[in-house]
Amino acid sequence: MKVVLQRSKEASVTVAGKVVGRIDSGLVLLVGVTHEDGEEEAAYLAEKIVHLRIFEDEEGKMNRSLLDVGGAILSVSQFTLYGDCRKGRRPNFMGAAKGEQAERIYDRFNELLKEKGVHVETGEFGAMMDVSLVNDGPVTFILESN
């Protein structure tokens, strides 16, 4: 699995003109799933994300986690994270898991985040989505399970 994590002040995702997910402060996660991913990879990243100390403390240092600050997550499926652009001019998406497998792992990942006490909003798997966010910092990290 691969996750692009962005600390945000506010974020939303819209499908066909309707807001389907919205958070105030917290994290926006763009989530990609590859063929080898399963429960273990989802659990590893869920644990890592909720405890990652990327929010500022009283002294302005990144010392607090999402759980510490009571932030929420907007999770958006993003198969294009496994797009390979090394050859030619058109990305190759062979590294991305097929829809059924990817959706199952993505859903389980979001369940694991919720089980850790985080409020999670999502986009709509497989839909064309408009994602809007105010990146806080900006703070952006790329996390991978392997």
Please report where in the chains the tokens 């399970």 appear, as a residue: 145
What are the structure tokens assigned to 57, written together? Answer: 């403390």
One-letter amino acid of 138: P
From 80, 101, 109, 125, active-site residue: 80
What DSSP line would sit under 85-123, residue for residue? -SSSSS-B-TTBPPHHHHHHHHHHHHHHHHHTT--EEE-
From 34, 79, 109, 122, active-site residue: 79
What are the structure tokens assigned to 19, written together? Answer: 């807001």
Based on the residue annotation, tell me whether 78 is a catalytic residue of this protein.
yes
What are the structure tokens assigned to 55, written together? Answer: 């929010």
CA distance linking residue 142 with residue 1, whole number of Å: 11
Based on the residue annotation, tell me whether 79 is a catalytic residue of this protein.
yes
From 55, 78, 109, 122, active-site residue: 78
Strand partners, 77: 31
Instruction: Check the CA dihedral 8-77-50-115 and report its sign.
Output: positive
Q: Which residues does the annotation mark as catalytic? A: 78-80
